[in-house]
């Protein structure tokens, strides 16, 4: 473990501390995911001025507002679209998208697959808590089979998305999954995703304790976070590891990675190259 990095990382250097405590419910995993992101930024020694955070709508969308950097809170499902424009216009920025399972896969599903296809240098963090928490607990594309939500009072009958498989199939050149329970591993994954040149998709398994947890009787916050270790419903996380003592263990880490050409470079070479390099600035 990187003790030195743990020692000199103070998350408050990267937060708008005057806005804290944040609005999220007790036990919500998004706070831990935010810590992992900021710790990764700290490890990479990225200047806050060079960091651009784009977030959509939902609980995950509100997370970006607490980061002391360039932050954009944009329309529902569109953070990837905004980020695409931003990353093309300002290649000097490190653009990171924070989005949720509903924002990214339902409302913004179209933007996700095309962002994956283009392979523009972006990092997309999808906080997956299996529910639309902010609007009162409706079913989301990643809600597992049989789960109770406000809109599925008799259990969810829809099959759910494996977001990582979707992103990899659509062409994302870095796909990974981490869980808030393993903060250090998640930090390292996000750090690698940011350093990867190309489109990086990271699914962060997070917990909605107040709504999803209550509706489905998943217990207290510590019980819910511990459940990430081995008793998740498998269908949301396609790559379930079949291990004898860990049924339903979710596969984490880097799931797909390749070095195909990055879109921004290709775009500048093809379009701006002809018009003269001066436009690029």
Residues that bind another protein (CB under 8 A): 6-8, 10-13, 15, 17, 20-22, 24-32, 35, 180-181, 183-184, 209, 220-223, 225-226
Beta-strand relationship, 138-139 and 131-132: antiparallel
Token pair listed for 202: 């990271």
Distance of closest approach, residue 239 Cβ to another protein, in angstroms: 24
Token pair listed for 145: 């089979």
Distance of closest approach, residue 167 Cβ to another protein, in angstroms: 25
Return the number of the residue (127 or 199) whose C-beta is nearest another protein.
127
Distance of closest approach, residue 110 Cβ to another protein, in angstroms: 31
Burial of 17 (0-12, 13-18, 19+ CB in 10 A): exposed
CB neighbours (10 Å) of residue 36?
A: 26
Return the number of the residue (28 or 168) whose C-beta is nearest another protein.
28
CA distances from 38 to 14, 47, 48, 101, 236 (A): 7, 11, 10, 20, 26
CB neighbours (10 Å) of residue 189?
A: 26
Return the number of the residue (67 or 88) whose C-beta is nearest another protein.
67
Return the number of the residue (6 or 279) whose C-beta is nearest another protein.
6
Query: Which sign does the torsion angle of CA 17, 18, 24, 25 carry?
Result: positive
Return the number of the residue (22 or 73) whose C-beta is nearest another protein.
22
Distance of closest approach, residue 22 Cβ to another protein, in angstroms: 7
Collapsing DSSP states into helix, strand and coil, what is residue 59? helix
Distance of closest approach, residue 210 Cβ to another protein, in angstroms: 10
Return the number of the residue (17 or 279) whose C-beta is nearest another protein.
17
- Is the preceding peptide bond at 48 cis, omega within 30 degrees of 0? no
Distance of closest approach, residue 12 Cβ to another protein, in angstroms: 5
Smallest CA-to-CA distance from 35 within 3, 10, 61 is with 10
């Amino acid at each position: 473990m990187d003790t030195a990095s743990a020692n000199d990382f103070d998350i408050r250097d990267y937060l708008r501390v005057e806005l804290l405590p944040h609005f999220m419910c007790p036990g919500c995993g998004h706070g831990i995911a935010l810590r992992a992101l900021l710790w990764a930024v700290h490890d990479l020694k990225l200047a806050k001025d060079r960091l651009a955070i784009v977030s959509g709508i939902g609980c995950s969308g509100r997370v970006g507002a607490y980061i002391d950097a360039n932050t954009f809170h944009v329309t529902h499902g569109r953070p990837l679209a905004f980020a695409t424009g931003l990353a093309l216009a300002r290649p000097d920025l490190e653009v990171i998208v924070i989005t949720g399972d509903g924002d990214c896969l339902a409302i913004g599903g179209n933007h996700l697959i095309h962002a994956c296809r283009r392979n523009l240098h972006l990092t997309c963090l999808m906080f997956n808590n299996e529910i639309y928490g902010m609007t009162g607990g409706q079913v989301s594309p990643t809600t597992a089979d049989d789960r109770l939500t406000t809109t599925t009072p008799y259990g969810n009958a829809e099959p759910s998305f494996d977001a990582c498989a979707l992103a990899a199939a659509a062409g994302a050149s870095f796909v990974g999954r981490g869980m808030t329970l393993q903060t250090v591993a998640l930090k390292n994954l996000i750090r690698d995703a940011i350093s990867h040149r190309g489109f990086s998709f990271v699914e962060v398994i997070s917990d909605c304790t107040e709504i999803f947890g209550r509706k489905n009787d998943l217990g207290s916050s510590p019980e819910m976070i511990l459940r990430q270790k081995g008793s998740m419903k498998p269908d949301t996380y396609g790559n379930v590891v079949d291990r004898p003592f860990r049924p339903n263990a979710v596969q984490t880490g880097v799931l797909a990675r390749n070095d195909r050409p990055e879109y921004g470079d290709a775009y500048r070479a093809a379009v701006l190259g002809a018009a003269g390099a001066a436009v690029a600035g």
